[in-house]
Amino acid sequence: MDRDHDFAIELGRIVLADQSLEEVLTRVAQVAKRAVERADEVSLTLVEHGRAPFTVAHTGDLALDADELQYDQGSGPCINAGETGLTLVVSDYATETRWPGYAAGAHERGVGSSLSVPLPVQGTAIGAVDLYARATGAFDDPAVVARANAVASFAAVAVANAQALGDAAGTAERLAQAMDTRAAVEQAIGILMGQRGCSAQEAFAVLSRMAEESSRQLRDVARELVAEVSRRRDGP
Protein backbone atom coordinates (compact mmCIF):
# COMPACT_ATOMS: atom_id res chain seq x y z
CA MET A 1 0.00 0.00 0.00
CA ASP A 2 1.56 3.36 -1.02
CA ARG A 3 2.10 6.32 1.27
CA ASP A 4 -0.67 8.42 -0.29
CA HIS A 5 -3.19 5.61 0.23
CA ASP A 6 -2.10 5.09 3.85
CA PHE A 7 -2.33 8.82 4.40
CA ALA A 8 -5.87 9.04 2.98
CA ILE A 9 -7.00 6.13 5.17
CA GLU A 10 -5.58 7.81 8.29
CA LEU A 11 -7.42 11.03 7.53
CA GLY A 12 -10.62 9.11 6.86
CA ARG A 13 -10.45 7.52 10.30
CA ILE A 14 -10.57 10.88 12.06
CA VAL A 15 -14.11 11.34 13.37
CA LEU A 16 -15.28 14.96 13.31
CA ALA A 17 -18.25 14.40 15.63
CA ASP A 18 -17.92 14.24 19.41
CA GLN A 19 -14.43 15.78 19.45
CA SER A 20 -13.32 19.35 20.00
CA LEU A 21 -11.84 21.29 17.08
CA GLU A 22 -8.46 21.28 18.81
CA GLU A 23 -8.54 17.48 19.19
CA VAL A 24 -9.46 16.95 15.55
CA LEU A 25 -6.84 19.35 14.22
CA THR A 26 -4.14 17.98 16.50
CA ARG A 27 -4.75 14.56 14.95
CA VAL A 28 -4.69 16.09 11.47
CA ALA A 29 -1.33 17.71 12.27
CA GLN A 30 0.04 14.39 13.53
CA VAL A 31 -1.10 12.62 10.35
CA ALA A 32 0.52 15.34 8.23
CA LYS A 33 3.80 14.95 10.08
CA ARG A 34 3.82 11.20 9.40
CA ALA A 35 2.72 11.63 5.78
CA VAL A 36 5.43 14.16 4.90
CA GLU A 37 8.61 12.47 6.05
CA ARG A 38 10.80 15.57 5.87
CA ALA A 39 8.48 17.65 8.05
CA ASP A 40 9.94 17.83 11.53
CA GLU A 41 6.90 19.59 13.01
CA VAL A 42 3.45 20.69 11.81
CA SER A 43 1.00 23.34 13.01
CA LEU A 44 -2.37 24.73 11.96
CA THR A 45 -2.97 28.48 12.02
CA LEU A 46 -6.39 30.11 11.96
CA VAL A 47 -6.80 33.63 10.57
CA GLU A 48 -10.14 35.11 11.64
CA HIS A 49 -11.43 38.64 11.21
CA GLY A 50 -11.46 40.58 14.47
CA ARG A 51 -8.77 38.59 16.26
CA ALA A 52 -5.07 37.93 15.93
CA PRO A 53 -3.94 34.81 14.04
CA PHE A 54 -3.42 31.88 16.40
CA THR A 55 -2.11 28.31 16.41
CA VAL A 56 -4.99 25.93 17.03
CA ALA A 57 -2.88 22.74 16.91
CA HIS A 58 0.80 21.79 16.69
CA THR A 59 3.02 18.74 16.99
CA GLY A 60 6.03 20.35 18.65
CA ASP A 61 7.81 23.46 19.85
CA LEU A 62 9.66 24.14 16.58
CA ALA A 63 6.33 24.77 14.82
CA LEU A 64 4.79 26.70 17.70
CA ASP A 65 7.85 28.94 18.14
CA ALA A 66 7.97 29.68 14.40
CA ASP A 67 4.24 30.48 14.35
CA GLU A 68 4.40 32.76 17.37
CA LEU A 69 7.37 34.62 15.93
CA GLN A 70 5.20 35.40 12.89
CA TYR A 71 2.41 36.67 15.11
CA ASP A 72 4.89 38.94 16.89
CA GLN A 73 6.25 40.20 13.56
CA GLY A 74 2.78 40.59 12.04
CA SER A 75 3.74 38.78 8.83
CA GLY A 76 5.15 35.52 7.56
CA PRO A 77 4.23 32.58 5.33
CA CYS A 78 1.57 30.97 7.53
CA ILE A 79 -0.22 34.28 8.12
CA ASN A 80 0.01 35.31 4.48
CA ALA A 81 -1.08 31.88 3.20
CA GLY A 82 -4.16 32.18 5.40
CA GLU A 83 -4.85 35.73 4.25
CA THR A 84 -4.25 35.29 0.52
CA GLY A 85 -5.01 31.67 -0.32
CA LEU A 86 -1.52 31.24 -1.80
CA THR A 87 0.64 28.17 -1.10
CA LEU A 88 3.99 29.50 0.12
CA VAL A 89 7.25 27.54 0.13
CA VAL A 90 10.39 28.81 1.86
CA SER A 91 13.30 26.71 0.60
CA ASP A 92 16.02 28.26 2.76
CA TYR A 93 15.44 30.58 5.68
CA ALA A 94 19.05 31.73 5.59
CA THR A 95 18.46 33.43 2.23
CA GLU A 96 14.70 34.19 2.35
CA THR A 97 13.94 37.84 1.40
CA ARG A 98 10.10 38.07 1.43
CA TRP A 99 9.97 38.32 5.23
CA PRO A 100 13.54 39.30 6.22
CA GLY A 101 12.80 40.04 9.88
CA TYR A 102 10.82 36.86 10.43
CA ALA A 103 13.15 34.70 8.32
CA ALA A 104 16.21 35.69 10.35
CA GLY A 105 14.44 34.89 13.61
CA ALA A 106 13.12 31.55 12.35
CA HIS A 107 16.57 30.61 11.09
CA GLU A 108 18.03 31.36 14.53
CA ARG A 109 15.42 29.01 16.04
CA GLY A 110 16.53 26.17 13.78
CA VAL A 111 14.01 26.35 10.92
CA GLY A 112 15.63 25.52 7.58
CA SER A 113 12.57 25.45 5.31
CA SER A 114 8.78 25.51 5.47
CA LEU A 115 5.57 24.95 3.55
CA SER A 116 2.34 26.86 4.29
CA VAL A 117 -0.85 25.67 2.58
CA PRO A 118 -4.12 27.63 2.93
CA LEU A 119 -7.25 26.11 4.44
CA PRO A 120 -9.85 26.53 1.66
CA VAL A 121 -13.48 27.24 2.60
CA GLN A 122 -16.09 28.58 0.14
CA GLY A 123 -13.52 30.04 -2.23
CA THR A 124 -11.41 31.74 0.41
CA ALA A 125 -8.90 30.78 3.10
CA ILE A 126 -9.40 30.77 6.86
CA GLY A 127 -5.92 29.72 7.92
CA ALA A 128 -3.06 27.47 6.92
CA VAL A 129 -1.37 24.14 7.50
CA ASP A 130 2.28 24.86 8.29
CA LEU A 131 5.05 22.30 7.85
CA TYR A 132 8.52 23.06 9.21
CA ALA A 133 11.84 21.29 8.66
CA ARG A 134 15.30 21.83 10.06
CA ALA A 135 16.77 20.91 6.67
CA THR A 136 16.69 23.27 3.71
CA GLY A 137 14.70 22.42 0.57
CA ALA A 138 12.49 19.93 2.41
CA PHE A 139 9.30 20.95 0.58
CA ASP A 140 10.51 21.65 -2.95
CA ASP A 141 8.98 18.43 -4.33
CA PRO A 142 5.53 19.05 -5.92
CA ALA A 143 4.33 15.67 -4.56
CA VAL A 144 4.94 16.96 -1.03
CA VAL A 145 2.92 20.09 -1.76
CA ALA A 146 0.08 17.94 -3.15
CA ARG A 147 0.02 15.84 0.02
CA ALA A 148 -0.04 18.95 2.19
CA ASN A 149 -2.96 20.27 0.13
CA ALA A 150 -4.90 17.09 0.93
CA VAL A 151 -4.28 17.70 4.65
CA ALA A 152 -5.42 21.30 4.30
CA SER A 153 -8.65 20.30 2.56
CA PHE A 154 -9.54 17.86 5.33
CA ALA A 155 -8.63 20.36 8.06
CA ALA A 156 -10.72 23.06 6.38
CA VAL A 157 -13.78 20.78 6.49
CA ALA A 158 -13.24 20.24 10.22
CA VAL A 159 -12.86 23.96 10.91
CA ALA A 160 -15.87 24.92 8.78
CA ASN A 161 -18.08 22.29 10.45
CA ALA A 162 -17.05 23.40 13.92
CA GLN A 163 -17.64 27.06 13.13
CA ALA A 164 -20.99 26.35 11.50
CA LEU A 165 -22.17 24.45 14.55
CA GLY A 166 -20.89 27.09 16.95
CA ASP A 167 -21.74 30.35 15.21
CA ALA A 168 -23.25 30.29 11.72
CA ALA A 169 -23.74 34.06 11.50
CA GLY A 170 -20.27 34.81 12.78
CA THR A 171 -18.75 32.33 10.34
CA ALA A 172 -20.51 33.99 7.41
CA GLU A 173 -19.20 37.39 8.47
CA ARG A 174 -15.64 36.09 8.86
CA LEU A 175 -15.75 34.43 5.45
CA ALA A 176 -17.01 37.65 3.86
CA GLN A 177 -14.17 39.60 5.47
CA ALA A 178 -11.64 36.98 4.39
CA MET A 179 -12.86 37.12 0.79
CA ASP A 180 -12.57 40.91 0.84
CA THR A 181 -8.99 40.65 2.07
CA ARG A 182 -8.07 38.10 -0.57
CA ALA A 183 -9.62 40.24 -3.33
CA ALA A 184 -7.52 43.24 -2.28
CA VAL A 185 -4.32 41.18 -2.21
CA GLU A 186 -5.05 39.66 -5.62
CA GLN A 187 -5.72 43.12 -7.07
CA ALA A 188 -2.48 44.45 -5.60
CA ILE A 189 -0.52 41.52 -7.01
CA GLY A 190 -2.05 42.18 -10.42
CA ILE A 191 -1.09 45.85 -10.22
CA LEU A 192 2.52 45.01 -9.33
CA MET A 193 2.71 42.44 -12.12
CA GLY A 194 1.60 45.11 -14.58
CA GLN A 195 3.94 47.75 -13.21
CA ARG A 196 7.02 45.54 -12.96
CA GLY A 197 6.41 42.93 -15.66
CA CYS A 198 6.96 40.16 -13.11
CA SER A 199 5.27 36.88 -12.09
CA ALA A 200 2.58 36.55 -9.43
CA GLN A 201 5.05 35.02 -6.96
CA GLU A 202 7.53 37.84 -7.58
CA ALA A 203 4.76 40.43 -7.13
CA PHE A 204 3.71 38.76 -3.88
CA ALA A 205 7.34 38.91 -2.68
CA VAL A 206 7.39 42.66 -3.39
CA LEU A 207 4.10 43.16 -1.53
CA SER A 208 5.39 41.14 1.44
CA ARG A 209 8.54 43.25 1.66
CA MET A 210 6.45 46.43 1.53
CA ALA A 211 4.39 45.18 4.48
CA GLU A 212 7.48 44.07 6.41
CA GLU A 213 9.35 47.34 5.87
CA SER A 214 6.35 49.45 6.92
CA SER A 215 5.45 47.17 9.88
CA ARG A 216 1.87 46.82 8.61
CA GLN A 217 -0.45 43.97 7.74
CA LEU A 218 -0.26 42.62 4.19
CA ARG A 219 -3.97 43.30 3.61
CA ASP A 220 -3.60 46.96 4.64
CA VAL A 221 -0.67 47.53 2.28
CA ALA A 222 -2.62 45.82 -0.53
CA ARG A 223 -5.71 47.96 0.03
CA GLU A 224 -3.63 51.14 0.10
CA LEU A 225 -1.91 50.23 -3.18
CA VAL A 226 -5.24 49.48 -4.86
CA ALA A 227 -6.74 52.73 -3.55
CA GLU A 228 -3.73 54.75 -4.75
CA VAL A 229 -3.95 53.31 -8.26
CA SER A 230 -7.70 53.96 -8.33
CA ARG A 231 -7.15 57.60 -7.35
CA ARG A 232 -4.56 58.05 -10.10
CA ARG A 233 -6.87 56.45 -12.65
CA ASP A 234 -9.89 58.52 -11.67
CA GLY A 235 -7.90 61.74 -11.53
CA PRO A 236 -8.53 64.82 -9.35
Closest by Cα among 169, 158, 174 to 20 = 158
136-141: list long-range contacts, CB under 8 Å, 24+ apart. 136/91, 136/92, 136/93, 136/94, 136/112, 137/91, 137/92, 137/112, 137/113, 138/38, 138/39, 138/112, 138/113, 139/36, 139/38, 139/39, 139/89, 139/91, 139/113, 139/114, 139/115, 140/89, 140/91, 140/113
3-167: CATH architecture: 2-Layer Sandwich (3.30)
Sign of CA dihedral 224, 229, 233, 235: positive
Domain boundaries, the chain: 3-167, 170-234
3-state helix, strand, coil in the chain (%, to 5): 60, 15, 25
Over range 69-77, report the average pLDDT. Answer: 90
When the candidates are 3.90.1150.10, 3.30.565.10, 1.10.287.1080, 1.10.10.10, the CATH number that belongs to 170-234 is: 1.10.10.10
Topology agreement, domain 3-167 and domain 170-234? no
What integer pLDDT is reported at residue 89 of this predicted model? 96
pLDDT recorded at residue 172: 46
pLDDT tens figures, 161-208: 655 544 433 444 544 555 566 677 778 888 888 888 888 777 877 877
Highest mean pLDDT among 70-74, 154-158, 199-203: 70-74
Statement: residue 21 has pLDDT above 80: no
Average pLDDT over every residue of 93-101: 93
Residue range 89-104: mean pLDDT, rounded: 94
- The pLDDT score that the predictor gives to residue 206 is 81
Query: Which is more confidently placed, 160 or 43?
Result: 43
pLDDT of residue 171: 47
Instruction: Give pLDDT, residue 64.
Output: 93
pLDDT in the model for residue 1 = 39
How far is residue 122's CA from residue 161's CA, in Å, rounded to a whole number?
12
Contact 29, 115 (CB under 8 A): no
Instruction: Give the pLDDT of residue 108.
Output: 95
pLDDT tier, 132 (very low <50, low <70, confident <90, very high otherwise): very high
What mean pLDDT, rounded, does the chain reach?
79
pLDDT score, position 184: 75
Average pLDDT over residues 49-74: 87
